[in-house]
Amino acid sequence: AGFSFLTLHLSTQAAHFSQQPQDQVVVSGLSVTLPCVIVGYRGMVQWTKDGLALGGERDLPGWKRYSLMGDPLSGEHSLLIDSAELEDDAVYECQATQAGLRSHRAKLTVLVPPSDPVVEGGPVVRLKAHTPHNLTCRASGARPAAEITWYRDGEVMETAIYSKTLLGDGKKEAAVSMLPIVPEDSDSGRTYTCRVLNQAAPAGRQISVTINVQHPPSVTLSVQPQTVAEGAKVLFICSASANPEITGYRWSKGGVPISEANGDSLEVTVDYSYFTDPVSCEVSNSVGSTNVSTLVDVQFGPRLLSEPKPMTVDMGMDAAFTCAWTGNPPLTLAWTKQGSSVVLSNSNTLQLKAVTQEDAGTYTCKAIVPRIGVAERDVTLTVNGPPILTVDATQHAVKHSKGKLECRVGSSPPPEKIVSALLSLRWRQQRGALFHGAATSPHPDHGVSSALVLSETLAQDFQLRYNCTAWNRFGTGTALVTLKEQEALPMLIIVGGAVGGGCVLLICVITLVSLCCRHTGKGELNG
Ligand SMILES: *[C@@H]1O[C@H](CO)[C@@H](O)[C@H](O)[C@H]1NC(C)=O
Ligand SMILES: *[C@@H]1O[C@H](CO)[C@@H](O)[C@H](O)[C@H]1NC(C)=O
Ligand SMILES: *[C@@H]1O[C@H](CO)[C@@H](O)[C@H](O)[C@H]1NC(C)=O
């Protein structure tokens, strides 16, 4: 109807647009027509694109996909764009140049659907368990930018982070969506779907990936049996599960590799060291390795860890000994002093406060591992103090022969000087007997011994008391000895008695000896 109206008024009306292009939207690849119908005009019609003239001919040479359509006689000069492309996105104007007419400036917007989305690492995305990861989906150049939605097993995920970038052409945009996940072993096999869409592709496109959650081996190390005696055989079993598959086992003991072991079990004969040096099994796969260690409950008797050290202290000071043992099951410790059964301490350390010379001696540290064994160590305590003298209060010599008086000095430190002297002043004068430093010799029983030698004993030497005195920096010690006469006879008589079997003879001799003693006793001199 419009057309006949136009024809009718052709000559009477001034040239004008009966149809003008409007703003339009087209999806790339489709065709679009920009209408232009001019009434009452016979001259040249041409289109401009962003101000650039497309040319006067109907088939628009130089613009392969562009042409003018309609009957020019009817004033129709619509612009047909075939298979629209992004470059067609522009402002178009239809101009009747000779009439000075210009249509609306029509904006043609070309939409571009997103291409198939791509998920990094797909179709099977390998992820490390418990390690945060961003699943990344990209939708390349689309116009407008594609919206991206993530689904996990069909359920929408809301936590994705979206971003878009304008591409170099200033029109298309690339979009990226990152879905943060912390994969657990149980997520292995889940399907994640990325869907992209925009106005040009309202139905969207999508891609799905499966995730394969990988983890270093999970390992348990067991020992059979749990509790053993030294020298028994033990089996270590290292059981592991892993994704991807296990590539190897490595064993070590106390940090030292056991090179010959490379399987999932290890049999060994254990000793006490397995109680303190852990055996470890390290299992590897391409993702990582896991190292698990275990000790063995090996039972063993006491083993000395630290030996007690002998000590020398001055009297009045404190002393302490320490000894350490190990054993399994746990041991008990007891400190005693040799010659006594009194337990002085049950701890590693024995404390002795303000020691006296009586505290000197040997101490024993004894460890008892119940039902397994016992062991002990001795240690000596030396107490520095004044000399302690040990003498036989009565010593014997035969008259007119060589005589010897002995005096032993124990204790520590050794005496600097020992003097044996005759107590009787008068006899001392006659005999000149002051025996300075009388031959001293080391005594086997810890100390020194001093002997006073009389080259020939006289009657007056007997029944006298002799004074043995020793000095050191702590003081002096004194002991008194009496020298008694001994008949040379008894030995002979005992021999004779043994031969003759005469008890009577023996009695005679004893009588003789006692008589003789009484006689010399009378002659005793007092100092
Ligand atoms: C995941 O993406 C976010 C946002 O870009 C970033 O902050 C985070 O560090 C990424 N995480 C990982 C594991 O790459
Ligand atoms: C496993 O760990 C223990 C203790 O940390 C270490 O001594 C041992 O060398 C490790 N084993 C391996 C095979 O790395
Ligand atoms: C023994 O001799 C010492 C030193 O000569 C003297 O100090 C001490 O008093 C004497 N002891 C006796 C009991 O006579």
For residue 438, the model assigns a pLDDT of 45
Cβ–Cβ < 8 Å for 312, 241: no
Note the ligand closest to the C-alpha atom of 436.
Answer: 3
| Percent of the chain clearing pLDDT 70 (strictly above) | 84
Q: Is 97 exposed, middle or buried (CB count within 10 Å of its CB: 0-12, 13-18, 19+)?
A: middle
Please choose from 424, 478, 481, 526 the residue to mutate so as to test ligand 3's pocket, defined by most ligand atoms within 8 A of CB: 478
The residue ranking higher by pLDDT, 228 or 495, is 228
Please choose from 165, 176, 178 the residue to mutate so as to test ligand 1's pocket, defined by most ligand atoms within 8 A of CB: 178
Q: Is the pTM of this model over 0.85?
A: no
Q: What is the position in ligand 1's atom list of the atom closest to the CA of 132? A: 13
First to last CA, the chain: 175
Q: What is the position in ligand 1's atom list of the atom closest to the CA of 131? A: 13
- Mean pLDDT score, 464-469: 80
Q: pLDDT for 272-282, tens place per residue?
A: 999 999 999 99
Exposure of 346 in the CB half-sphere (CA atoms within 13 A): 3
Note the ligand closest to the C-alpha atom of 295.
Answer: 2
| Percent of the chain clearing pLDDT 90 (strictly above) | 63
- Least confident piece of the model among 51-60, 186-195, 449-458: 449-458
Q: Residue 498 — pLDDT band, cuts 50, 70, 90?
A: very low
> Which residues face 328 on adjacent strands?
300
Q: Whose CA is nearest to atom 3 of ligand 3?
A: 469
Q: pLDDT for 151-169, tens place per residue?
A: 999 999 999 999 999 999 8
How far apart are the CA of 520 and the centre of ligand 3, in A? 25
How far apart are the CA of 134 and the centre of ligand 1, in A? 6
d(C-alpha 12, C-alpha 320), whole Å = 136
The residue ranking higher by pLDDT, 308 or 507, is 308
Q: pLDDT for 483-494, tens place per residue?
A: 888 876 555 444
Q: At 191, which amino acid appears?
A: T
CB of 338 closer than 6 angstroms to any ligand 3 atom:
no
Q: Residue 520 — pLDDT band, cuts 50, 70, 90?
A: very low
For residue 489, the model assigns a pLDDT of 59
Q: pLDDT for 238-258, tens place per residue?
A: 999 998 999 999 999 999 999
Q: What is the position in ligand 2's atom list of the atom closest to the CA of 280? A: 1
Q: What angle do CA 97, 99, 103 make, to 5 degrees?
A: 65
